Amino acid sequence: MSGHERVHVFAPAVGASDVAGWVEYLTSAGGTATPLRFGATPTILATGDGPAHARPAHLPEPLAVVPTTGKSRYGHSDIRPEGTIVQIGPADIGDGAISVFAGPCAVETSEQLHDTVGVVRAAGAVGMRGGAFKPRTSPYDFQGLWWEGLAMLDEARERSGLPILTEVLDPRHVTEVAAVADGLQIGARNMQNFELLREAGAAGKPVVLKRGFGCTVDEVLAAAEYILCQGNDQVVLCERGIRTFESATRFTLDISAVALFKQRTHLPVMVDPSHSAGIPSLVEPVAMAAVAAGADALLVDVHGQPESALCDGKQALLPADFEQLMGRLEMLAMGLGRKLAGVTAPMLQPTG
Amino acid sequence: MSGHERVHVFAPAVGASDVAGWVEYLTSAGGTATPLRFGATPTILATGDGPAHARPAHLPEPLAVVPTTGKSRYGHSDIRPEGTIVQIGPADIGDGAISVFAGPCAVETSEQLHDTVGVVRAAGAVGMRGGAFKPRTSPYDFQGLWWEGLAMLDEARERSGLPILTEVLDPRHVTEVAAVADGLQIGARNMQNFELLREAGAAGKPVVLKRGFGCTVDEVLAAAEYILCQGNDQVVLCERGIRTFESATRFTLDISAVALFKQRTHLPVMVDPSHSAGIPSLVEPVAMAAVAAGADALLVDVHGQPESALCDGKQALLPADFEQLMGRLEMLAMGLGRKLAGVTAPMLQPTG
Amino acid sequence: MSGHERVHVFAPAVGASDVAGWVEYLTSAGGTATPLRFGATPTILATGDGPAHARPAHLPEPLAVVPTTGKSRYGHSDIRPEGTIVQIGPADIGDGAISVFAGPCAVETSEQLHDTVGVVRAAGAVGMRGGAFKPRTSPYDFQGLWWEGLAMLDEARERSGLPILTEVLDPRHVTEVAAVADGLQIGARNMQNFELLREAGAAGKPVVLKRGFGCTVDEVLAAAEYILCQGNDQVVLCERGIRTFESATRFTLDISAVALFKQRTHLPVMVDPSHSAGIPSLVEPVAMAAVAAGADALLVDVHGQPESALCDGKQALLPADFEQLMGRLEMLAMGLGRKLAGVTAPMLQPTG
Amino acid sequence: MSGHERVHVFAPAVGASDVAGWVEYLTSAGGTATPLRFGATPTILATGDGPAHARPAHLPEPLAVVPTTGKSRYGHSDIRPEGTIVQIGPADIGDGAISVFAGPCAVETSEQLHDTVGVVRAAGAVGMRGGAFKPRTSPYDFQGLWWEGLAMLDEARERSGLPILTEVLDPRHVTEVAAVADGLQIGARNMQNFELLREAGAAGKPVVLKRGFGCTVDEVLAAAEYILCQGNDQVVLCERGIRTFESATRFTLDISAVALFKQRTHLPVMVDPSHSAGIPSLVEPVAMAAVAAGADALLVDVHGQPESALCDGKQALLPADFEQLMGRLEMLAMGLGRKLAGVTAPMLQPTG
């Protein structure tokens, strides 16, 4: 056992008294030992040279002792080599299947949301996306419906059964948004809004962390630690394109980052092919590429009338194009030995 | 008068009743007219085709009527062609002189701060920089001293007379930080943290807005509007480098942006040559270039023992190098027909 | 018919006299008409307002009349909507199958080349890559074996039957290299070496044009025109990554560009997953993504002893990893309704 | 003396027999020693552990022994700490003064060239720029007048006395262009056209090497070595902007690179403020910044009728704006303790 900082990882069945025993053992010759329940996984962050005497026989062996080199600690792939499954409501991400979250960029009206959610659910989406709080470059652009939009998402979930993934952009809103949403999205512009990350991490809901368009792969991993180090292991990393000199697309999707996230962490990876390209005809090829590169999930903008959308309409897929995408993804999945995740319960219709 | 959105700009002397008269006049044939006291400048944002009848003789003529094309509205150079002077405590930025703010990247101890502030003040700095709240890529790095650091800044100001420019990174902290600081800094990672911008804009203190390293010139102008549209005209735009493929420097300082900010807005422009390059030997040439390109102010990291700094020490100038820089800037200023801004009051010494 | 510049496209069966008739007809009222045999396709570039009288009955109708807006003219997808098949020796690119070219980055010895070519051929590659002329950042690095390397490629082709794709970097070398190679590669650093492009276009061999790492999609299309406008329709566009701020990979593969090239041109598209990432573990996911995004061909570095390679060894796949990649591509192809291109003839063994 | 590769640098007065003595001495215990006359400076590149015995008393001591770490060897600042002066005709670059080369982007007509050269000469330019061979993104754009344009430059030199700096883009043209031009320019698109660099280096004329817009500082230094390692020390490094995500300017001028080039090499540095920004109103601030950062020379586009220019007219300065720039540079120079380089001879007028 080295004197460097490292994380001891234990099996979920290891109880509090065994962890306490380990802490005592690890600190017996100086050094520190800080326990953290990381999701269902007991861990201890240890520093110092380690104990002078041998481990007492009654203490369970750790599954792994992971050196914390670099900025990645609880997200490191060695912490949980089998990978983490993130559960956004009834939808699993990271179990091998391809999970598609879809919906409008921004919630506009109850009808628009209901119609779109019906379309994406019928085509096989397992969750809905929809922004109530919209971070906009200019204060003079539509800023979302805020709490009213959140209520519309709540209603749409009741009728569709699809869980809600929605953005939160102010640490003061986190508790209230988390009370409704099944998953919290941290937008690209807030990836390094560290106080927001801390609040989101503490809110007890899964977090989808979108990559900042000016941020590196290493910085994404470091930002995720702000959430993970609070014991919240329900984090999805989302690649959505970076800023480059190429102006043919709004952003340049970094397809290698998808593979790097999968290789370097145990977290599931999502890709947003809609915001990266900003061009509807590129959504399908980029989505296909993302899945072939190993992405666990997709986040797709769909809108019934893209031309009249209040936010980023130009890039949204039409319902028919989304259906075609889902069909192609289903075929692709077979070629990869995977399958499309699905929902089975019927959708409620509005009454009256 | 066109039917498009536009801002009517009035002389500071124009009073509330004249503004009310103008609002009534502008809305007499439909359309909207929203008054905003922009610093000391009365303005009205008007939409619609404008009034059907001629302006009543008693209403004062506007200084300008500025069409609000693009995302820039209150920051547009035509709103105030003579430029805006921002007052951070006793230090003016934008009056033609070159204003240098300097100090440690992070506040570490009272002594470190006092010593450094003494050095930079003696060399000609008109304000101190120093971070109490540090946004760090990793949660495992030094995060600043928070409120304790703020108190140290307060104390250093008392002894030196130099005003405090310090970063705020959570909308929940703004009021308390603004109660102490003379100027609020919005860091690069928070340039598009729009709720923070709104709070900072409303806090009644000048705001230095650092360019996000993945953000365009247009996005900087749009972000500034979040502050300006609340009537706060005390905004300084700060260029601090963008992310590019060049890895010889930490960031690539965009020298053209300095000129573009000056040409497109009435706001003063600051440049941070320390964080952009990340190399001490580049601070002087980049600072000289910034001033030659038209920058009003510089923000320079200085540290007595850079090698032991808790944050970004590698890039800080040593006191002697800072003195040399100030000497060269003074000569440069003459070649530009400008001068270095200066302070005149004596610095207090600690007693006992 | 508009007065703007446009290309008249005719069926391959249309003969010289009909083309001459069309030229006469198009110029009958002024304007210009320049015939170009574009591969097997007769075309006429016309300017001016067009003829005053109706088309003589004996002249065949064009397949299409394509306006030459933008920089793309002969490469525009409307010139040949069914797409172009490029034939590099016996290997077809663009017929719907996935064509893999593989081999060492640089030719080092006859044995190394023979061994590697044997491996990649057995695993299903349809062509060999291998550099005899290596453009190197520094004059002090290995520059390739030049003509000796070319002779080794010639010998390797004789034994393997695999066609040669190799780089040419000086217009003075084109004729001699083209006398041996089945396909000429223009490297990323030479994408805008326009005199080289002209020579390569005139040499009568297919050309694989690699995207410059600092060049846009539009510039790739414009560079291709230097080759195409000489009547050479045997051009493959190769995406190999662009320079961005992300340093986790050597370059950032622009997966959207693959789809844009397919949508905007009739030319087949190749992807180089080896040089883009510069990391062996990323070759497979990036190659899979490229094919899922629509790439027609892949260019893969394979080396028996990557650690001792004279050039870019670190990124090469080991033979076993290449075999695994080919197996996964075969499965992926099925999910896409495509197949892997293959060779059938036996490989010659060296005698004695 | 270490066993690593290193360059022995001798005083210009050291003769061939002393160099031969040193070669013999250095190779006396194995190792290699390759002499190169680098401009007027005798040098020997040595490898191996060095001689076993002490240096014979008659051999002169070297001025320096410079280890060749990295890709920079003959360009390394330690080779010639006092810096190199490059002489383009009668114009010196690198002697401390600010040398301005100006003229049209492309040579169009004899009159246009004469008029523009007259203007820039009167305003203080010491050399003329003007492209006869224009590398253009598209084959359908104006490609320059080639040899005819070169003859016009020759004539303009005769009348003005200003030396010619002009681009060469094909290794097959180098000899003929060098027979006329006073300085050869390698364009950004050809910075890594290594065969062209070798030819230009061997042609016996100074070379201005423009930075590729997708190339790093280190790559510029490595590219320069292709010229320098042939003994040609007359190389000027030219920063002209790199590709970044910022689209407000055509390229992003890397002001830090100017300082890095000065610090890392002994070569003079030129900056092109016209092509980097692509906006006339940015030429002056960027030019001022470049000089303040330490640039030795500027390369400025000037055109009498920018709107009708055949190539890149939009970015050219009008004659009056160029005169204003020169006036401001003269003042700036004083603030820097420098001066503007100047010509004194009268300009010939056309006869008849």
Please say whether the beta carbons of B250 and B275 come within 8 A: yes
Please say whether the beta carbons of D154 and D130 come within 8 A: no
Chain C residues whose beta carbon lies within 8 Å of the beta carbon of residue D243: 214, 243
Chain B residues whose beta carbon lies within 8 Å of the beta carbon of residue C244: 245
Report CB contact under 8 Å: D216, B248.
yes
Side by side, the strands of the sheet bearing A32-38 are A32-38, A41-47, A6-9, A64-67
Chain B contact for C248 (CB, 8 A cutoff): no
Report CB contact under 8 Å: A169, B225.
no
pLDDT band for position C1 (50/70/90)?
A: very low
Q: Average pLDDT in the D39-52 region?
A: 92
Say how many residues make up chain A: 352
Please say whether the beta carbons of A240 and A271 come within 8 A: yes
Chain C residues whose beta carbon lies within 8 Å of the beta carbon of residue A255: 253, 255, 285-286, 289
Terminal Cα-to-Cα distance of chain A (whole angstroms): 68
**Alpha carbon of B215: minimum distance to chain C alpha carbons (Å):** 13
pLDDT at position C2 is 44
pLDDT band for position A71 (50/70/90)?
A: confident
**Alpha carbon of B297: minimum distance to chain D alpha carbons (Å):** 15
Chain C contact for D219 (CB, 8 A cutoff): yes
Chain C residues whose beta carbon lies within 8 Å of the beta carbon of residue A216: 245-248
Please say whether the beta carbons of D267 and D224 come within 8 A: yes
pLDDT at position B3 is 54
Q: Is C127 helix (H, G, I), strand (E, B) or coil?
A: strand
Q: Please, which residues 189-218 of chain B have a Cβ atom closer than 8 Å to chain D? A: 214, 216-218
pLDDT in tens, C254-292: 999 999 999 999 999 999 999 998 999 999 999 999 999
Give the mutation candidate from A245, A254, A276 for the D interface (greatest D CB count, under 10 A): A245
pLDDT in tens, A242-290: 999 999 999 999 999 999 999 999 999 999 999 998 999 999 999 999 9
List CB contacts of B182: < 8 A, sequence separation 6 or more: B88, B89, B91, B127, B157, B163, B164, B165, B205, B206
Under-70 pLDDT residues of chain B: 1-3, 344, 349-352
Residue D2 has pLDDT above 50, yes or no: no
Please say whether the beta carbons of C121 and C342 come within 8 A: no
Residue C198 has pLDDT above 60, yes or no: yes
**Alpha carbon of A237: minimum distance to chain C alpha carbons (Å):** 16
Q: In chain D, what are the domains?
A: 5-68 (3.30.70), 86-335 (3.20.20.70)
Residue type, A248: A
> What token pair was written down for C276?
């883009």
Q: Is C1 helix (H, G, I), strand (E, B) or coil?
A: coil
pLDDT in tens, C146-188: 999 999 999 999 999 999 999 999 999 999 999 999 999 999 9
Q: Average pLDDT in the D248-268 region?
A: 98
Please say whether the beta carbons of D53 and D64 come within 8 A: no
Chain D contact for A140 (CB, 8 A cutoff): no
Distance CA C283, CA B60 (A): 70
Give kind and range of the element (H or E) at residue D45. strand D41-47
Chain C contact for D36 (CB, 8 A cutoff): no
Strand pairing partners for C238? C210, C270
Closest partner residue to A229 (CB to CB) among B139, B214, B229 is B139
pLDDT band for position A3 (50/70/90)?
A: low
ipTM score above 0.90: yes
The residue among A70 and A302 whose pLDDT is bigger is A302
Residue C352 has pLDDT above 60, yes or no: no
The residue among D346 and D81 whose pLDDT is bigger is D81
Number of cross-chain residue pairs from A and B with Cβ atoms under 8 Å apart: 82
Closest partner residue to B289 (CB to CB) among D216, D255, D335 is D255
pLDDT at position C350 is 60
Closest partner residue to A218 (CB to CB) among C248, C285, C294 is C248
Distance CA B93, CA B233 (A): 13
Residue A1 has pLDDT above 60, yes or no: no
Terminal Cα-to-Cα distance of chain D (whole angstroms): 68
Closest partner residue to B254 (CB to CB) among D217, D252, D336 is D252
pLDDT in tens, C293-312: 999 999 999 998 887 777 77
Give the mutation candidate from A71, A255, A279 for the C interface (greatest C CB count, under 10 A): A255
pLDDT at position B197 is 98
**Alpha carbon of C12: minimum distance to chain D alpha carbons (Å):** 25
Report CB contact under 8 Å: D294, B285.
yes
Nearest CA to A270 out of A316, A314, A224 is that of A224
Report CB contact under 8 Å: B193, A189.
yes
Q: Average pLDDT in the A112-120 region?
A: 95
Nearest CA to A94 out of A39, A156, A14, A43 is that of A39
Chain D contact for B269 (CB, 8 A cutoff): no
pLDDT at position D4 is 80
Ranges C322-331, D92-101, D302-311: which has the least confidence: D302-311
Q: Which residue of A has its CA nearest to B219?
A: A137
pLDDT at position D3 is 54
pLDDT at position B1 is 41
Distance CA A260, CA A268 (A): 12
Chain C residues whose beta carbon lies within 8 Å of the beta carbon of residue B247: 247
pLDDT at position A93 is 98
pLDDT in tens, C222-252: 999 999 999 999 999 999 999 999 999 999 9
% chain A with pLDDT above 90: 88
pLDDT at position C351 is 58
pLDDT at position A347 is 78
Q: Is D198 helix (H, G, I), strand (E, B) or coil?
A: helix
Strand pairing partners for A235? A207
Chain A contact for D32 (CB, 8 A cutoff): no
